[in-house]
Structure 1
Amino acid sequence: MHKSGLIELEAVIAVARRGSFRAAAVELGMSSTALSHAVAGLEARLGVRLFNRTTRSVSLSAAGEQFVATVAPALKDIQGAVEAVNSLRDTPAGILRINSSVGAARQVLTPIVLEYLNRYPDMQVDLVTEGRMIDIVVGGFDAGIRTVDTVPKDMIAVPFGPPLRYAVVGSRNYFERHPQPGKPQDLMQHRCIRARLPSGAPYRWEFEGHGEVLTLDVPGSLTLDEPTLILEAAREGAGLAHLSEWSAAADIAEGRLLHVLKDWTPVLPGLCLYYPSRRLLPAGLRAFVDLIHEIGRHV
C-alpha cells in the first residue's frame, strides 16, 4: 500500500483507523519511526496537529477528524484507480493482507500461500492470525480465511478444501490408565483438555450421532486456548483432546494418538476465502482467488 506515492495520507488514515502508530505501521509494512515521521511531516506542512498523543493513547484532534473525513473517501478513490491499473498487469505486485484463524492459516500456508509467492515474486503476503472474528474492511485487510458458516453475509465467499471434522484423541499412555469412551457421556468420567474460545468462554464439545445431538462441558484440570498446545498436551498424556482431524492427522496416522468416538463427530462446513464485493479486484487478490480455485480442493 505504501508504494502508491501517498504515504503521508495513508499513514494518517491508518493511524486513525487503528488508533495506534505501531499497529498502523504493521498494516502499511513500514517502521514505526518512518510512519511517525510521515505524519509529523504532514502536520508540519499543514500547520495543525492531526492527532492528540499521550503515552497510552492516540486520538484524532478536531482538525484531524475534519481532515480524515474529507481525505479518506478521496484516498479510497485514488487507491481504487491504482488497483484498476494494477489489475491490467501481467504479473501482480504489492501487498496482500489476509486475516485468518490460526488453524486455517496452518492449513493454507504450504499448499496455497507459499505456492502463491513462488508464482508471483513481486507480491508480499501479510498473514495475520487471531482467534476472534474482525471486520476485515475496518482492519485494512484485503481478505479473510475462516469457516464458511462464520463469514458475514455481505462478503463474497470462495469455499475450498474438504468439510471439517473434529476428533477426540488421547495418547496410548493415557489409555493404558483409562478405558476408551464408548459414547460422549463417558467423557464426564475422563480427564479432558479444555479449550477456551477467543471470547474467553469455555468451548463445549459438540457431538452428533445415533439420532442425538449433544454439547458437553467436559471436566478437566487444564484449559488452553491454542490448538498446538492442546495437541502437545494430548501427546504427553494430559488427557483427551477435541481437535480438528486435520491438525491431529499425523499423530493419529503414526500412532501417537488414538482416535475415539468416531461415530459421534459431526461434519462441519469447511474453510473459505472471503473479501468485500468490488467492481474490480486488485490483481494480487484476483490471482490468489484463481489459485484457490485451482488447488484449493487439495488443501
Structure 2
Amino acid sequence: MTVRLDHLEVFALVVRAGGFRAAAAARGVSQSVISQAIRGLEQTLGIRLLNRTTRSMALTEAGERLLERLRPALDDINSALVELDRLREEPSGTLRINAPGPAVDHILCPLAFAFMKAHPAVKIEIVSDAAIIDIVEHGFDAGVRFGQQLQQDMIAVPLGRPLRYAIVASADYLNERGRPGTPSDLIGHDCIRRRYPGGALADWAFQKGDESLQITPEGRLTLSSAHQELQAAIAGQGIAHVFEDYARSHIADGSLVEVLADWSPRLPSWFLYYPDKRHQSAAMRAFLEMVRQSAR
C-alpha cells in the first residue's frame, strides 16, 4: 500500500480548515481537487476518514486516529521545510571546502574569518588536502586548485592574486656554502626537498625571459610542508623552495635571504571551483560574493 503524502496533507488541511471549500481556498485549487484527494486517500486506505454531507463534515474514528498520529509527522516535515527555506534565503548551515595548504593559509582562512564574522549562523569546515579529489563525491561545497587541475563541469572563480615561488636560505648557510647565481649552481647544495602525499618528489621550476628549466633538487632533508621547510631553512639546513607568501615576513626580518629571484616564475592564481550554481544555499551564494569582491 502506497499512500501519497500530498493526500495526507490535504486530509489534515481539510480538518484544520473546517471543510472542503475553506481547504480549497487555502491551497489555491478547486473544491473538486480537494474532494478527489480525500477520495483517493480513503480508497488507498480502504476505510472512510470523513463523514460528510452537503452541510457538514465530521471525522470518523479512523480519521481521528490517523490525524492524531499524522499531526506530529506533518509538523516535523513543515519544520524541515522552514529550515530549508532559511538555508535558501539566509546564510546559515555549514560550508565544506577542500584546498591545498598554501591556499588555506594565505587566502581561505582570512576570507573565512571575515565571512564568519559577517554571518554568525554559518559554520565553515576547511580540509587542507593537496590530492586531486571529486569534491561532490566527498561531500564538499567547493574546492581550490590551479586552473589545469579543475574538474570538468565545474564553475571556477579566481581566488587571490598570481603566485610566485621564492628560493630562500639563511645568511649563515649562504656564507658557508656560497650563493647560487643560476639554477645550475644548486647542484651540490643541500636543497630541502618536498614529497607530496602521493609519494612523488616536487620538481623546482625556473624561468628567466624565454629560458625555462626544471630540476629535481638533491639534498639530505625531505619534508612534506612549507612550514617545515621554512623552519629547516631558518635553521641553516639548506635551501627551500616555497611560495613567496610563506617566506615574505622572514625575508623582511632577515632570517632568510632570497636567491635566484630573477629566475622565479609567476603562476596563475588559485581558483575556487564548485558544482552547478543552481539550487545553491544562501551561505554558498554569500561566500561566492565575498570571493568575487576580494578578487576585485
**TM-score, normalised by the number of residues in structure 1:** 0.69
After TM superposition, give the deviation of residue 212 of structure 1 in Å. 1.8
* 1:158-191 Cα deviation digits (max 9, x unpaired): 1021111101000111112011111000001211
Give me the CA root mean square deviation. 1.7
After TM superposition, give the deviation of residue 111 of structure 1 in Å. 2.5
Give the secondary structure class of the aligned counterpart of 2:156: strand
* 1:66-95 Cα deviation digits (max 9, x unpaired): xxxxxxxxxxxxxxx889734552x31100
After TM superposition, give the deviation of residue 147 of structure 1 in Å. 2.4
Aligned twin of 1:230:
229
* 1:200-240 Cα deviation digits (max 9, x unpaired): 11111111114321111111000011110011101101000
Give the secondary structure class of the aligned counterpart of 1:95: strand
Question: Aligned equivalents of 2:180 and 2:82: distance in 1?
Answer: 59
Return closer, same or farther for 1:84/1:276 CA change in 2, 3 Å cut-off.
Answer: farther
Return closer, same or farther for 1:228/1:146 CA change in 2, 3 Å cut-off.
Answer: same
Mapped contact 2:161–2:295 kept (Cα < 8 A): no
**Structure 1 range deviating more: 275-284 or 121-130:** 275-284
Larger Rg: 2
Q: Is residue 2:75 matched to residue 1:85?
A: no
Question: Aligned equivalents of 2:84 and 2:264: distance in 1?
Answer: 46
Mapped contact 2:88–2:280 kept (Cα < 8 A): no
Question: Aligned equivalents of 1:117 and 1:98: distance in 2?
Answer: 14
Question: Aligned equivalents of 1:118 and 1:245: distance in 2?
Answer: 28
Mapped contact 1:168–1:240 kept (Cα < 8 A): yes
Aligned pairs (5 A) from 1:133-212: 133-212=132-211
Give the secondary structure class of the aligned counterpart of 2:197: coil
- Give the residue type in structure 2 aligned to 1:85: D
Mapped contact 1:87–1:281 kept (Cα < 8 A): no
Give the secondary structure class of the aligned counterpart of 2:187: helix
Q: Is residue 2:249 matched to residue 1:250?
A: yes
Question: Aligned equivalents of 2:96 and 2:88: distance in 1?
Answer: 20
Return closer, same or farther for 1:277/1:180 CA change in 2, 3 Å cut-off.
Answer: same
- Give the residue type in structure 1 aligned to 2:245: W
Question: Aligned equivalents of 1:82 and 1:165: distance in 2?
Answer: 47
Question: Aligned equivalents of 1:82 and 1:175: distance in 2?
Answer: 64
Question: Aligned equivalents of 1:118 and 1:216: distance in 2?
Answer: 44
- Give the residue type in structure 1 aligned to 2:120: P
Aligned twin of 2:269:
270
- Give the residue type in structure 1 aligned to 2:189: H
Return closer, same or farther for 1:198/1:253 CA change in 2, 3 Å cut-off.
Answer: same
Aligned twin of 1:108:
107
Question: Aligned equivalents of 1:189 and 1:211: distance in 2?
Answer: 26
Question: Aligned equivalents of 1:149 and 1:173: distance in 2?
Answer: 39
* 1:269-293 Cα deviation digits (max 9, x unpaired): 1112110113222111111101111
Mapped contact 1:83–1:283 kept (Cα < 8 A): no
Mapped contact 2:87–2:93 kept (Cα < 8 A): no
**TM-score, normalised by the number of residues in structure 2:** 0.69
Question: Aligned equivalents of 2:152 and 2:135: distance in 1?
Answer: 13
Return closer, same or farther for 1:110/1:278 CA change in 2, 3 Å cut-off.
Answer: closer
Aligned twin of 1:11:
none
Percent identity, please.
41
Question: Aligned equivalents of 1:84 and 1:291: distance in 2?
Answer: 22
Aligned twin of 1:279:
278
- Structure 2 unaligned spans of 5+: 1-80
Runs of 4+ in 1 over 4 A off after TM superposition: 81-84
Aligned twin of 2:215:
216
- Structure 1 unaligned spans of 5+: 1-80
After TM superposition, give the deviation of residue 150 of structure 1 in Å. 1.7
Give the secondary structure class of the aligned counterpart of 1:239: coil
